[in-house]
Amino acid sequence: MYKKVRTPCIGVCSTGIGDDVCRGCKRFAHEVIDWNAYTEEQRRVIAERREGYLVNAVRSQLEIVDRNLLLAQLRHQQIRFDEDQSPYCWVFELLRAGASQIENPAHYGLRPTAVARGVPLVELRRRIDEDFYALSVAYYQRFVAPGLRPA
């Protein structure tokens, strides 16, 4: 049995100012508008797409070397995260909550990838968010927008 899919809204919606993809939650404008009318299955499809993009974005910057340490730290720091999601999504929640306070990623079971070595975690958080958004926009432009255009 699946858990109910909660809205991914983080209160930073940019679809109201004309963006096709929300800069906050990375859903498409029509998904934001129609969210409450969607079935759980439709919401799950959106959640899985978003999770996949976020995992790719995080993995490009950080590697989880100790999942149990990461989990223990998230709980100790009382950071909200969805345990049913990939641990790479947990990393993003950790960075959103406190990238500026983390001095050593290893204390959280993390190791920067080659492209991220020596880069402050605040900058990694920005890169991840930017890549997450870029992946969502690319999918929208390639697969969704063409279907919205008149023939």
**Do 10 and 120 form a contact (C-beta atoms < 8 A)?**
no
Q: What is the pLDDT of residue 94?
A: 98
Task: Please count the residues of the chain.
Answer: 151
Q: Which two structure tokens, joined as six digits, stand for 82?
A: 């969805």
Query: Minimal CA–CA distance to 28: which of 151, 133, 128, 127?
Result: 133
Q: Write down the pTM of the prediction.
A: 0.94
Q: What is the pLDDT of residue 1?
A: 62
C-beta contacts of 29-32 below 8 A and 24+ residues apart = none
What would the pLDDT profile of 16-45 be if each residue is shown by its tens digit? 899 999 999 999 999 999 999 999 999 999
Q: Which two structure tokens, joined as six digits, stand for 13?
A: 């919606």
Cα 132 from Cα 96, distance rounded (Å) = 14
Segments making up each domain of the chain, as ranges: 15-142
Mean pLDDT score, 92-106: 97
Mean pLDDT score, 55-74: 98
Q: What is the pLDDT of residue 116?
A: 98
Q: What is the pLDDT of residue 151?
A: 54
**Do 29 and 21 form a contact (C-beta atoms < 8 A)?**
yes
Q: How confident is residue 150, by pLDDT bands cut at 50, 70 and 90?
A: low
What would the pLDDT profile of 69-87 be if each residue is shown by its tens digit? 999 999 999 999 999 999 9
Mean pLDDT score, 52-58: 98
Q: How confident is residue 122, by pLDDT bands cut at 50, 70 and 90?
A: very high
